[in-house]
Amino acid sequence: MNQMNIATVDLNLLKVFEALHEESSASRAALRLGVTQSAVSAALRRLREVYGDQLFVRTGRGMAPTLKANQLKPVVSDALNKCRQSLAMVDPSANHYDGRSVTVGLSDDFEIAYGRRLIEEIAVSAPKLRLIFRQTHSQIVARALMERSIDLAITAGGFAERLLSRQVLGEGGYACLVDPASLVPGQQQIELEEFVAREHILVSSGGFIGITDEGLAAVGLSRRVCASTTHFAALPHLLKGSEAVATIPSHAAEAIAALSGLALLPCPLNLPRYPVELGWRTSTQIDPVVLKVREAIAASFAAG
């Protein structure tokens, strides 16, 4: 690597690096930055000289980051965000949201139930800020936060890490979804006997046993799962035209039923309620943009 001094490095190169890493394409990075593709290519050549590494290599699907680029990404993004924070400190009344994004990790049940509301909150409190929703769950969320692939996360726990902070947003329960055509006219609930007799669709990030199986086992019963999926959004397609039932968090069941026409029924099992938590890296406490999104998330859940 060449001996470099920060006085000789154009710090705009870091914006190009960030855009290339996040877009995986020189043409898309150029579009995002409002420059020509040749300008991005020239910046990449300079970045390679500065860091003594290829940084990005061409693949059939664009540009893939090298190990060095992946190591540099959180440091570079943190540095750019600190620059953006400094502008907000100079002029707190100005909206320094254009060009900024905040990545929120959550499972798609929260995205379905609260995503639109959160977008509307941000449009008012932090105009021009871009939200990025990224799939996560409680078993992997702490690592995703620490590796900086997400800035905030909404899950049912998983924040037991000393460098993370959290707040409780609320409490969740469970409800059932079925195709209304599989119900008798006027049916408003499903009895336990019928519940066990039906086939079930399980939504799980990887396991074969869900909270419903544990609840049934506690009363000496079991169910037959005909299929499982990792995404709540698939349920309307999997349930329509069948006798199957899905038992999922109430917030998602209500939102999916409202959009899909599936029937929403109370769960015949007494399943335990669970806390819904918002987590973040404690080091981001002072970032006003992350704070804005945290406040918007809390407001979205309070309204729900």
12-61 pLDDT tens trace: 899 999 999 988 999 999 998 889 999 999 999 999 999 999 999 998 88
Q: What are phi and psi of 81, to 5 degrees?
A: -65, -35
Q: CA-to-CA distance for 102 and 149, rounded, in angstroms?
A: 10
pLDDT digits over 160-197, tens only? 888 999 999 999 999 999 999 999 999 999 999 999 99
Q: CA-to-CA distance for 10 and 44, rounded, in angstroms?
A: 12
Task: Report whether 207 contacts 146 (CB < 8 A).
Answer: no
Neighbours of 229 (CB within 10 A): 15
% of the chain beyond a pLDDT of 90? 68
99: closest CA among 83, 117, 114?
83
Mean pLDDT of the chain: 90
Task: Report whether 56 contacts 69 (CB < 8 A).
Answer: yes
* 80, 111, 128 - which closes a domain: 80
Q: Is residue 92 part of a domain?
A: no
Q: CA-to-CA distance for 247 and 267, rounded, in angstroms?
A: 7
Q: CA-to-CA distance for 255 and 250, rounded, in angstroms?
A: 9
How high is the pLDDT of residue 6?
65
% of the chain beyond a pLDDT of 70? 93
Confidence of residue 3 (pLDDT cuts 50, 70, 90): low
How high is the pLDDT of residue 197?
97
Residue 218 shares a structural domain with residue 246: yes
Structural domain count, the chain: 3
Residue 182 shares a structural domain with residue 218: yes
Q: Is residue 90 part of a domain?
A: no
Transcribe 119-138 into DSSP letters: HHHHHHHSTTPEEEEEE--T
Place of tokens 């049916």: 187
Q: Is residue 93 part of a domain?
A: no
Residue-wise burial string across 107-141, b where 16 or more C-beta atoms lie within 10 A, e elsewhere: bbbbbbbbbebbeebbeeebeebebebeebbbebb
Confidence of residue 206 (pLDDT cuts 50, 70, 90): confident
Residue 49 shares a structural domain with residue 65: yes
Q: CA-to-CA distance for 91 and 76, rounded, in angstroms?
A: 23
Question: How far is CA 104 from each of CA 155, 199, 243, rounded to the nearest angstrom?
Answer: 11, 34, 35
Task: Report whether 114 contacts 301 (CB < 8 A).
Answer: yes
What the block records as the tokens of 126 is 């932090």
Residue 151 shares a structural domain with residue 294: yes
What the block records as the tokens of 278 is 């918002």
Task: Report whether 12 contacts 25 (CB < 8 A).
Answer: no
Q: CA-to-CA distance for 78 and 80, rounded, in angstroms?
A: 6
Domain region containing 299:
99-169+279-303
How high is the pLDDT of residue 1?
46
Helix (H, G, I), strand (E, B) or coil at 273: coil
Residue 104 shares a structural domain with residue 193: no
How high is the pLDDT of residue 92?
57
Q: Is residue 94 part of a domain?
A: no
* 53, 80, 107 - which closes a domain: 80
Transcribe 55-74 into DSSP letters: -EEEETTEEEEPHHHHHHHH
Task: Report whether 245 contacts 190 (CB < 8 A).
Answer: yes
Of residues 170 and 74, more confidently modeled: 170
Residue 60 shares a structural domain with residue 179: no
Residue 193 shares a structural domain with residue 72: no
Q: Is residue 85 part of a domain?
A: no
Residue 208 shares a structural domain with residue 136: no
Of residues 225 and 78, more confidently modeled: 225
Residue 105 shares a structural domain with residue 161: yes
Q: CA-to-CA distance for 289 and 126, rounded, in angstroms?
A: 8
pLDDT digits over 81-130, tens only? 777 767 666 665 556 677 788 999 999 999 999 999 999 999 998 888 89
Residue 163 shares a structural domain with residue 289: yes
Residue 157 shares a structural domain with residue 297: yes
CATH number, domain containing residue 163: 3.40.190.10
- Under the phi-then-psi rule, with left for phi > 0, alpha for psi from -120 to 50, and beta for the rest, what region is 253? alpha
Residue 208 shares a structural domain with residue 224: yes
Q: CA-to-CA distance for 173 and 211, rounded, in angstroms?
A: 11
What the block records as the tokens of 297 is 């998330």
Q: Is residue 1 part of a domain?
A: no
Q: Is residue 115 part of a domain?
A: yes
Q: Is residue 53 part of a domain?
A: yes
CATH number, domain containing residue 39: 1.10.10.10
